Structure 1
């Protein structure tokens, strides 16, 4: 389960390092590269909520094994892709596998260790291995791209998946609850349509302009899908993929909005940052991966301590501090120029990374604490989905704002605009969490 979780999180960051090599190898522009990243993120965000319910109903072992197999097939197809459309389609397959796999890993661990103390240690190991995936992504990706080419970033997953698949067949017992509600298929399909249409509108808007007919059509589809999704979830009630009653809790809405802002700004800016480091500054893939290590290392180091602080004083102050720290880091990125030395970038990356390390456990804990205990699993899934959705939209917006790295002046102006906009969103998130999150992290007991 730890291996599966590690691979899912690794693929969130590892591909960013390979983007310039993919672009030159397959002859695509920034719009194509956005789809390479977002194909995975959109499938993951669209299916995350319903895959957990599917595991409850039909068996987590079955769903996790299917997820591992689909992820492995998608990784192999990515590594062999002859062109960008095939690569994007394979990335969607990877994302489907990741969505099937991710919720079940924790559910299986919880059932495999019924003793509370053993379960806590097992979950701590699972979380610790997962937290290493984010800083490992740029380093592993950079080394693989420089040494073996961009295809190796995907092909390296295949043997790991095979080992995890065989091991899971042997070691994992099935668990299911035939009384669990059926998956919310209308909600899943409408949510997927909303995300894909909105992402297409942003990416195509960056290529063709906001007034292009296909952009306006995609935006209209997104609006209709949003309205239809709201109506469908209200009609389904408590068994909905996104139960409306949860979002009437101000703290729950604030926590998930902050989580969405976090990934929207982080993954969007990271997409442009990696293009800046390699296509503008001319760094190698490994050098670029090393350069962003101060951004991701604090997540692995600070997040556990941030979790302890949050459990003692509540989520409001840690979340606000994390958002403000990240905002200052983003604002400092506006100092980046084509020939800026690394010390110019380092304070921005450190502040940004420290902010994320403090913010991440705070927003997750706040979302879970805002709902009744029996809905904590759903609250965690919604928080994950909010982050993945924010990341997918952020990448689409970032590429549209920055444009092509070959147009260096326009690209840098777009990079600076994106950094300032992200700093502003983080600042707005600070006001939101200070206003709506409770001072103490007390779980809600009532319905």
Structure 2
């Protein structure tokens, strides 16, 4: 029957998303409380069709097309992890808005104004979760939030968006994301006004590369990471993990007090080839009272030795650190040489791993439990994921805990007994370099 259709009707059918949509892409009838929903939360695995759904949903809001829309939307917010993600995925991507809209309905995209404008006069504005303050002031009658679980300032961005959803008879928002166990996402799942749909990568397998299905799904299916990234499940903390997300959240502070010592922990990779382990780079400092503050995770992947060394030295300089602490089990003296090739004045302390990663990490985890380690500022998402997934058997799938290793080296160095660097109080908010007396540079 389809083969018998003329090309004009075939093209029209190809654009008819309502007819072709998967079950998980069809709008829900009711919210959790049985009434109308204001938030549609679509939790899906990688490649499950989340972006296409978001683009088609926005297109339906502009046209007022039922069952996806109840009225025409005049102003729409498009919110992604970064401006780059909004542009490259939500707007210009293979499943983005510009591809989803037929030529006659296609909006004009003005990148300098972060603005999409349809021939009907409807307008969509692009926003980044990196800057929640952008959402103060504008108002909308619909919003599409993509990959909310990756947002850097998830709560602040989402809260500001809610204050702006105040146009039209019933403002609504669609949230499309691969889930992670962040607090905001867990609140949305149980919110009375939320409708939740779920889908795994398998639901859209016919539209994905067979090589992807065979390699990725075959490798990760059934694993903890696979349940999250393929099946779209919200995976809570491992029962046998050294850290819990609740404990890390309890250790989070806005700013660090004056610190007497700062170090940069480095866990170098054994190779720079594609797919090799990342180079863990984590900075931490300690107060006079012995409380450690994790300041930054600057981990990089896929760079040659001079690339990750440049990143570590740049962090050392910016934080006015005292030393770089680098594991040398893999690279030996090469690690010191490559760091000092960038800056010969950088003090590099070489450390050797003589015990297993779990045994090295246990004392650091105990310090978190005692309230002796704090995380400064927003979540270090990738680092904290490794911490909460790390147990006696390591990380799922045998992945390297590169960020965690760098953290452990930094915290261990700061809390070693017998170290003394003299009185050196500084504030990270000051641009003036600290005064260090000549005699205070000696370590007793």
Provide TM-score, normalisation by structure 2.
Answer: 0.26
Higher strand share: 2
| Greater relative contact order (Cα < 8 A, sep 6+) | 1
Compare CA radii of gyration and give the structure with the larger one: 2
Provide TM-score, normalisation by structure 1.
Answer: 0.26
